[in-house]
Amino acid sequence: MRRLVWRAAELVGSTPETATARTLRFRVPGWPGHLAGQHVDVRLTAEDGYSTQRSYSLAGPADGEYVELTVESVPDGEVSPYLTEIMEAGDQVEIRGPVGGWFVWRAENERPVLLVAGGSGIVPLMAMIRTRRQAGSRAPFRLVYSLRGPDWAYYADELRRPDPGLDVSFLYTRTVPEGASRPAGRIMLADLAEGGWPAGHGPDCFVCGPTGFVEAAADLLLALGHASERIRTERFGPTGG
């Protein structure tokens, strides 16, 4: 039987993605590797022994003993502001995983893929995009990324760089760049009809983000005729959506 153990993880570096999100790179000796889409549990322990844990998706493909997470600082949160604002290189947390064998994409899979991200839900989907690129996979990918406005994009440069076989469409819920044809607003049928695949192509759909977003996007995919067995969802915990 496999056992998930807590491993010491040292922060080796971090880069800001947006004004409120950071990508953190940890060295985790003994890390067993992982698949795109999986997540880890992170445990923090205070001086007096108090500890708490949260789940975070892995942002990149397996990379030896390194793992990368991208964390959005939730106002008034217990854990995410610590990870993004207080932690410095050399500080430690504990990490265990990888967790989740369902919301995963494997590079052997050549079916078309539709990724639908809401906000920080882009993180595990980015791991799939990066895994595809690293493996030289020819599976056709489309990403529909819903975010507040252009300044809120994680991995912005990387997603704008050409990556053959990957189409990206951004949709903005609050602020749109000047001259944009789509007004600001929540995800709609047309966004998925235009940015996705026709249901007849039978794509594997991965939907990730806050609960309300995932509910809405998964219902739209069903309305477009996608089979529910082909729609995999990951909801990012308590967002009240």
Partner 1 sequence: MGGFVSIISRGFHGRRRDEGDRLPPGQYLVEDFPVLSAGPTPRVPPERWEFAIDTEAGVTHRWTWPEFLALPQETPTVDIHCVTEWSKLDTSWEGVSLDTLLENVDTAADYALVHSYGGYTTNLPLEDLLDGKAWIVHRFGGEELQPQHGGPARLLVPHLYFWKSAKWVRGIRLLDDDRPGFWETAGYHNYGDPWREQRYEGD
Ligand X SMILES: Cc1cc2nc3c(=O)[nH]c(=O)nc-3n(C[C@H](O)[C@H](O)[C@H](O)COP(=O)(O)OP(=O)(O)OC[C@H]3O[C@@H](n4cnc5c(N)ncnc54)[C@H](O)[C@@H]3O)c2cc1C
- Residues lying near partner 1 in the complex (CB under 8 A) are found at 1-4, 6, 8, 41, 43-47, 49-55, 78, 82, 86-87, 91-94, 99-103, 211, 214-215, 218-219, 221-222, 228-229, 231-233, 235, 237-240
Residues 42-61 that bind ligand X (CB under 6 A): 54-57
3-state SS, 143-163, equals EEEEECCHHHCCCHHHHHCCC
Is residue 103 within 8 A of residue 37, CB to CB? The reply is yes
Q: What is the secondary structure of 11-73 as a DSSP string?
A: EEEEEESSSSEEEEEEE-TT-----BT-EEEEEEE-TTS-EEEEEEEB-S--BTTEEEEEEE-
Count the Cβ atoms, other than its own, within 10 Å of residue 151.
11
123 binds, among partner 1, ligand X, none (CB under 5 to 8 A by kind): ligand X
231 binds, among partner 1, ligand X, none (CB under 5 to 8 A by kind): partner 1
185 or 237: CB nearest partner 1: 237
79 binds ligand X (CB under 6 A): yes
Site string for ligand X, 108-147 (x = CB under 6 A): ------------x--x------------------------
